[in-house]
Amino acid sequence: MNISDEDIKKRFGLEPRTSAVSIPLPADKELPAGVVAALSALPRLNNLRMFARVPRCFSTLMSFIDEIFNHGSFDRRLRECMYIRIAYICGLYYEMRHNLLFARNLGMTDEEIAALTRDGEVNGLDPDAVLACKAAEEITKNISIGDDTLKELLARFGVDTTSELILLVSWFNMLIRYVESTRLPYEQNFGEIITGPAPVKLDSGK
């Protein structure tokens, strides 16, 4: 499945970012040999290559991504509900493209995606998704979850899963700030790059 520019514009009202200045993606010749080798084994996603702009952190970041996406216990559908919701409320074209594909590859429906991309509070989804999206919005907009929402999360998910939820949202908030501040370019034919419900298992080069 591919998602066209027109799909994103018409369905979600999001426009591609334009900017007169940007940080360029690093060429292989600018990077340490170990980072180049690690990149060659990864999906050709521009956000992964842009992380290599800080090469001493690259291996750690790849290991972190692998852990939270491929080895965590948090429900992957709820994760994508949160990420699509954040992309929508923040008007993030790049992140919406990627996470729509992840969501589709998880089997999420048009109706579920529509519920996540409306103004106002999320409704029309199961209680877990509504609560997760509420928490994700609060962290994104207010830095912290409100006391009432945290109580709900702990009552529903317990300490460990609530902590993982917060980490997943915090990671995404870091990612979107890096992507948008560097003015990361959009991939072409990214539907051919993203073939699963999350980034594939990553080889960090360790």
Q: pLDDT of 135-181, one tens digit each?
A: 999 999 999 999 999 999 999 999 999 999 999 999 999 999 999 99
Residue pair 96/84 in contact (Cβ under 8 Å)? The answer is: yes
Cβ neighbours for 180, distance < 8 A, ≥ 6 positions apart: 17, 92, 94
Full-model pTM: 0.89
Cβ neighbours for 113, distance < 8 A, ≥ 6 positions apart: 84, 100, 103
* Plot region of 186 (φ>0 → left; ψ -120 to 50 → alpha; else → beta): beta
CB burial of 93-110 (b: ≥16 within 10 Å; e: otherwise) equals bbbbbbbbbbbbbbebee
Residue whose pair of structure tokens reads 């999360």 in the numeric block: 153
Residue whose pair of structure tokens reads 């919701």 in the numeric block: 85
Share the mean pLDDT of the chain: 89
